[in-house]
Amino acid sequence: MIPNFHDNDLIICLKHFYSLKEGDVILIKTPALGVIIKRIKNIKEKKILIEGDNKEYSSKSYDHEYNIDQVLGKVILKF
């Protein structure tokens, strides 16, 4: 998530959130990578697509749809 998030940044996230929208930064549990921090690219019903902030970086995690129940938290603040 460079340039907006770096190693050792502290974040505050909500485990219980009322809504998610495109552009929100989330913690999501993926089968291949474990827990990652990414931005919501698209939401369709109960499925989401994710992306990173570094447009020059590509990841296989961007090619999958994830269930909303895989979202562990919504980031609300970064230190």
Please report, for the chain, the start and end positions of each structural domain, with discontinuous segments joined by +. 11-78
Q: How far is CA 40 from the centre of its chain?
A: 6
Q: How far is CA 59 from CA 5, 16, 43, in A?
A: 17, 27, 19
pLDDT digits (tens, 9 = 90+) for 27-64: 999 988 999 999 999 999 999 999 999 988 888 889 89
Q: What is the CA radius of gyration of the chain?
A: 12
Record the pTM. 0.90
